[in-house]
Amino acid sequence: MLTLAHVAVPAARAQVSSAPAAVNLRAVINPRLAVVVTPGTVNFTLAPAGGVSTGSTPLLITTAWSLQQGTNNVTLWAYFSAAGSALSNGASNIPSARVRGSVNGGAFTAFTQNSPFGAARSLRIFRQRIRNNNRVGQRSDTLNLQIDTTGLLLSPGTYTGVLNIQARAI
């Protein structure tokens, strides 16, 4: 009977574990600075004899950031690539000094400021100080545009140009 009991009971097995394999984890959040502008086109109807024309719609500009320690401010600029030809039809040019912007309903100001992106053809939209409590944030601004063609002898045609909007964190 003892022999029979020994056969019916399964043998005990010892558990074996490996040594732990260590995995180092590393997570990084890179600094981020982004600008989104809508709409992508603003139309103007220029007066044939010259005058001030207002853009068809204001620009809505959203600036978002996630910045590291040591960053002191965020500045947003709007600028043209060339001061003498913000808009052109190939035969005539409208200089950047004749384009004006109104930030958040303020006074219209010509694009004649110096910026890190375009000397004497820029307009500062905002400058915001960065502290520990706003290292991650965003803001929205509006920019209305005007073109003043008073006194310019412009040839008829369609004038096109590109307004660049760019943020900088330092």
Query: Residue 94 belongs to a domain with what CATH number?
Result: 2.60.40
Give dist(CA 111, CA 162) in Å, integer: 13
Residue 78 domain-assigned (yes or no): yes
Q: What are the φ and ψ backbone dihedral angles of 98, each rounded to 5 degrees?
A: -95, -5
Domain count, the chain: 1
Instruction: Determine, yes or no, domain membership for 9.
Output: no
Q: Is 35 within a domain?
A: yes
Mean pLDDT calculated for residue range 130-136:
92
Structure tokens of 145? 């545009």
Q: Give the domain range for residue 97.
A: 30-169
Residues of the chain above pLDDT 70, percent: 93
Domain annotation covers residue 4? no
Residue 8 has pLDDT above 90, yes or no: no
Within 8 A by CB and 6+ apart from 75, the residues are 124, 126, 127, 128, 167, 168, 169, 170
**CB distance 100 to 87 below 8 Å:** no
11: confidence class by pLDDT, cuts 50, 70, 90? low
- Asked whether residue 152 is domain-assigned, the answer is yes
Q: What is the DSSP letter of 160?
A: B
pLDDT in tens, 33-80: 999 999 999 999 998 889 999 999 999 999 999 999 999 999 999 999
Residue 12 lies in a domain: no
Return the exposure string of 10-38: e unless at least 16 CB atoms fall within 10 Å of the residue's CB, then b: eeeeeeeeeeeeeeeeeeeeeeebebebe
The tokens of 14 are what?
A: 């010892």
CA atoms of 156 and 58, how far apart (whole Å): 25
Task: Identify whether 63 is part of a domain.
Answer: yes
